[in-house]
């Protein structure tokens, strides 16, 4: 299945503005972090009730959020910055003063207004080989030389919905993962080896140095449409959440009493999914039901349509439990695991 096919299947599961938003944020390419800054600004201003703003008003939170993040982490791969007018170069030059002021400097704001229409705002709605089902803004000419940005009903609905806090959190987690993939001290390890899961904290770390990257739940829950894998209901803000071992970890213990567990490691990302605390407690150590395996397969397929390093993590795990032959797809992989415990 191609990335475009996976994205379309993800959208078909929940053909809503939220799904289109998640496709843009979670599945689009990441040569720089501009789309996360734009997404942050769009949710912030639309959540405040705005239907239309000037381009400068949108550029202000966009530029300031990049200045904040750039102070702590790279916002592009090493060596990719351009000359003195490159936007990230301007961020580096004007970021400290902007943070001190609490708003972008005149130079930084002007650079954002100049670059956004020809760069990130053209690309936000585009995926490789797949078009989003919804648009979130339209850039207009404005009056008196001030360009305007009109927020669509789709953006205003999701920004005002009860899932808006979750969308903010998902965006932040994805932003952190991409920043770490740009970090020369971490990025190569993530791209080559993917991510590991730290059992006690359920955090995602790089395999080589085990440095924290992001918490598992906000990093992957968007690929589940923010739904509990067990009951399929939306996990509302503030609801207690646990990470479910879809195939219970106890299976490895039970097998080891007789012989070595012949299947894949059940503590890895492919088998871990956020769920309601009550649903996870009620499930206990029972094997997964057919519908839960279908949801897990769809979730993993969606993750594999995203850029590194989450995709790489599942690429490394997508193997038939018997031998080293690669499984053709996630439904096949999960059937093989189920056959071991049937």
What's the pLDDT band for 60 if we cut at 50, 70, 90?
A: very high
What's the pLDDT band for 5 if we cut at 50, 70, 90?
A: confident
What's the pLDDT band for 32 if we cut at 50, 70, 90?
A: very high
pLDDT at 70 over 70: yes
pLDDT at 317 over 70: yes
Residues of the chain by 3-state class (helix, strand, coil), percent to 5: 50, 15, 35
What's the pLDDT band for 81 if we cut at 50, 70, 90?
A: low
pLDDT at 1: 67
pLDDT at 126: 87
Share the mean pLDDT of the chain: 91
pLDDT at 327: 79
Distance CA 4, CA 43 (A): 25
Report how far Cα 187 is from the mean position of its chain's Cα atoms. Answer: 17
What's the pLDDT band for 229 if we cut at 50, 70, 90?
A: very high
Mean pLDDT of the 116-136 span: 88
pLDDT at 323 over 60: no
What's the pLDDT band for 256 if we cut at 50, 70, 90?
A: low
Question: Could you give the percent of the chain with pLDDT greater than 70?
Answer: 93
Report the sign of the C-alpha dihedral through residues 273, 224, 166, 132, in that order: positive
28 or 60, higher pLDDT:
60
What's the pLDDT band for 340 if we cut at 50, 70, 90?
A: confident
The predicted-structure confidence for 155-199, as pLDDT tens digits, reads as follows 999 999 999 999 999 999 999 999 999 998 888 888 888 999 998
pLDDT at 68: 98
Mean pLDDT of the 245-273 span: 87
pLDDT at 134 over 70: yes
Distance CA 132, CA 116 (A): 20
Q: HSE-up of 91 (CA within 13 Å, CB side)? A: 28
What single string gives the DSSP state of each residue in 225-286?
Answer: TTB-TTT--B--TT--EEEEESS-THHHHHHHTTS---S--TTSGGGEEEEEHHHHHHHTTP
Mean pLDDT of the 89-115 span: 97
Question: Could you give the percent of the chain with pLDDT greater than 90?
Answer: 71
Whole-model pTM: value is: 0.92
What's the start-to-end Cα distance of the chain, in Å?
28
pLDDT at 12: 84
């Amino acid at each position: 299945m191609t990335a475009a096919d996976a994205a379309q299947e993800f959208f078909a599961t929940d053909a809503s503005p939220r799904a289109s938003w998640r496709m843009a944020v979670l599945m689009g390419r990441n040569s720089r972090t501009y789309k996360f800054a734009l997404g942050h600004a769009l949710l912030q201003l639309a959540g405040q009730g705005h239907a239309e703003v000037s381009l400068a008003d949108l550029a202000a939170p966009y530029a300031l959020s990049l200045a904040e993040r750039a102070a702590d982490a790279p916002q592009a791969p090493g060596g990719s910055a351009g000359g003195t007018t490159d936007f990230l170069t301007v961020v580096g030059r004007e970021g400290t003063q902007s943070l001190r002021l609490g708003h972008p400097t005149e130079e930084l704001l002007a650079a954002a207004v100049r670059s956004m229409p020809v760069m990130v705002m053209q690309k936000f709605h585009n995926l490789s080989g797949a078009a989003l089902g919804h648009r979130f803004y339209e850039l207009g000419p404005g009056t008196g030389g001030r360009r305007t940005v009109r927020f669509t009903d789709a953006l205003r609905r999701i920004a005002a919905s009860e899932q808006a806090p979750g969308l903010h959190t998902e965006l932040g987690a994805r932003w952190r993962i991409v920043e770490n993939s740009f970090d020369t001290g971490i990025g190569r390890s993530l791209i080559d080896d993917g991510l590991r899961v730290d059992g006690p904290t359920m955090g995602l770390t790089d395999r080589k140095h085990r440095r924290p990257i992001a918490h598992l739940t906000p990093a992957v829950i968007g690929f589940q449409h923010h739904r509990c894998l067990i009951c399929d209901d939306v996990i509302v803000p503030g609801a207690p959440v646990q990470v479910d071992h879809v195939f219970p970890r106890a299976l490895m213990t039970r097998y080891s009493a007789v012989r070595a567990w012949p299947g894949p490691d059940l503590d890895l990302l492919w088998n871990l999914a956020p769920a309601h605390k009550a649903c996870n407690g009620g499930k206990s150590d029972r094997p997964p039901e057919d519908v839960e395996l279908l949801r897990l397969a769809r979730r993993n397929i969606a993750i594999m349509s995203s850029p590194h390093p989450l995709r790489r993590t599942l690429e490394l795990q997508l193997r038939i439990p018997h031998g080293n032959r690669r499984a053709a797809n996630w439904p096949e992989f999960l059937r093989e695991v189920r056959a071991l415990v049937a």
